[in-house]
Amino acid sequence: CRSLVLVLGDQLSLDLSSLKRADPAHDRVLMVEVMAEATYVRHHKKKIAFLFSAMRHFAEELKEAGWTVDYVKLDDPANSGSFKGEVKRACERLRPQRMVVTEPGEWRILEDMRSWSDAFSLPVEILTDTRFFSTVADFRAWADGRKQLRMEYFYREMRRSTGLLMEGDKPAGGKWNYDADNRKPAQPDLFMPEPKRFKPDAITQEVLDLVASRFSGHIGDLEPFWFAVTRKDAEEACEQFLADMLADFGTYQDAMLSGRKFLFHSVLSAYLNAGLLDAKVLCGKVEEAWKADKVPLNAAEGFIRQILGWREYVRGIYWLKMPDYVDSNALGADRPLPDFYWTGQTRMRCLSEAIGQTLEEAYAHHIQRLMVTGNFALLAGVRPTEVHEWYLMVYADAYEWVEAPNTIGMSQFADGGLLSSKPYVSSGNYIDRMSDYCGACSYDVKQKTGPKACPFNALYWDFLDRNKEVLKGNPRLGQPYASWHRMGPEKQQLLKESAADFLKRLFEGEEV
């Protein structure tokens, strides 16, 4: 063939820049299921099944569009197990004149790709990923010379440059951000909508059998498997979100409820990140729904900010700061990840809910990730790299470009405040306000010290005290530090002893 186009597992879009550069009449697409990608962290079974099935369906879509696809399945006896090995075999088989790829979402793969030209003696063209609103270079230019890289300012630039939710040069409704309207706890409601579930077809069933036999040691439940694995089904899930959930998305964005795994979240991240849905199209539809008066502005703005703002911003940060970013540890946290992150077995209700549903669905919503599992790991002083690997492994939407800044930066404050101006830590009070978890917990959220007290309470103060050298000058922490000082040495001592006792029991393997 003339050009060999390698399409990665999270590049499942017909509009991909590498496919646009090639010609179905002369060129060949290569897609490979490789052990190295499935095991560099031991991904959740559901995540692997989702991706392999979506890849196999995309190969069919490509064939229907006239492409010739070389698809290497995981159990192909000749499969060498890595991208580089499979590219080598394909070069020997097809003798291409050149290779075309769209830039990958992870640093380690980009490094690998950069070695292919020499290794296989052919030109390898690495193209910009045009699925995003901004490019890596755009972000670099925005960041250049700025002291602070705050998402809010980047987001405003993006609103201006795309024109999304703009009225001339002013933000729609007069404000850039409607977050103040978006902090309501939710009430249990029998009629709450649920994300659309899809029945596995024959292709998915074959993948489920493969994952069950080859990845039985990986965490998570493989079944029931209900993710969309085709563009058509992902679009259907998207339409259902727009019709049934978007209107309430903003208002209940930060809420948590027992047994309600999805609330009014879209559950579209895995589809977006793999390429089954297009972020630009999705934001356009959300804007349209607001213009047609189907959803309020706080919902449309809240949702668009997550994608046009946060999603683009974290990607920019990732490529700006890699490769060192994932090793950041500004607070010098050095404890291991507690065992219950792998089992969900803890008496802390908030954590058993968040981790339990993560193991079942490879999904938890943002506030569960940030204010439950992330908050606890930060308060307990867990090594950021261990927290990072956990998040990368357990969520169906996790790729390093999006997961690492969210974990290392937003959630663990390991980058020392590059991404967020203060650590996202809270005592049990926040969780109690935003959820119904505490009522059914064996700990008492109102008690501050002692064996019955909610562990988040003493851990919160212990965290502030432990890290005071790094954090005490942070203006956003002035108030909590002032409260800590007002308590006086006796109360401080009790809180510190309570935290120490809890951490001792936790790391000695007692069920806490």
* Residues in touch with ligand FAD (CB under 6 A): 265-269, 272-273, 303, 306-307, 310-311, 314, 365-366, 369-370, 374, 391, 395, 397-398, 402-403, 406-407, 410-411
Name the token pair of 245. Answer: 């959930």
Give the whole-angstrom CA distance, residue 24 versus residue 201. Answer: 28
Of 238, 331, 367, 441, the one binding ligand SF4 by CB under 6 A: 441
Residues 416-435: x where in contact with ligand SF4 by CB under 6 A, - otherwise, as a string: ------------x--xx---
User: Pairing state of beta strands 170-171 and 166-167?
Assistant: antiparallel
CB of residue 90 to ligand DLZ, shortest distance in Å: 13
| Helix H or strand E encompassing 166 | strand 166-167
Distance in Å, CB of 191 to ligand DLZ, minimum: 36
Binding mask 338-377 for ligand SF4 (x = CB under 6 A): ----------xxx---------------------------
Binding mask 450-469 for ligand SF4 (x = CB under 6 A): ----xxx-------------
Choosing among ligand FAD, ligand SF4, ligand DLZ, none, which partner's interface includes residue 34 (Cβ < 5 to 8 Å by kind)?
ligand DLZ
- Residue with Cβ nearer ligand DLZ (132 or 502): 132
Return the sign of the alpha-carbon dihedral for residues 214, 216, 217, 220: positive
| Tokens matching residue 127 | 């193209």
> Is residue 434 within 8 Å of residue 255, measured between CB atoms?
yes
- The count of chain residues that interact with ligand SF4, using the rule CB under 6 A, is 14
DSSP letter at 71 equals E
Cis peptide before 451 (omega within 30 of 0): no
Calpha distance 306→298 (Å, rounded):
12
CA–CA gap between residue 75 and residue 168 (Å, rounded)? 55
The stretch among 22-30, 35-43, 213-221, 463-471 that binds ligand DLZ (CB under 6 A) is 35-43
Report how far residue 471's alpha carbon sits from residue 419's, in angstroms, rounded to the nearest whole number.
15
First CA to last CA distance, the chain: 60
With CB under 5 to 8 Å by kind, the binding choice for 499 among ligand FAD, ligand DLZ, ligand SF4, none is: none
Binding partner of 38, given ligand FAD, ligand SF4, ligand DLZ, none, CB within 5-8 angstroms per partner class:
ligand DLZ
Q: What is the DSSP string of 173-200?
A: GG-S--GGG--PPPPP-TT---------
Residue type, 76: D
Task: Pick out residues in 77-136 that bind ligand DLZ (CB under 6 A).
Answer: 104-106, 109
**Residues paired with 4 in a beta bridge:** 28, 99
Query: CB 310 → ligand FAD: shortest distance, Å?
Result: 4
- Contacting positions for ligand DLZ (CB under 6 A): 8-10, 32-34, 37-38, 43, 48, 51, 104-106, 109, 399
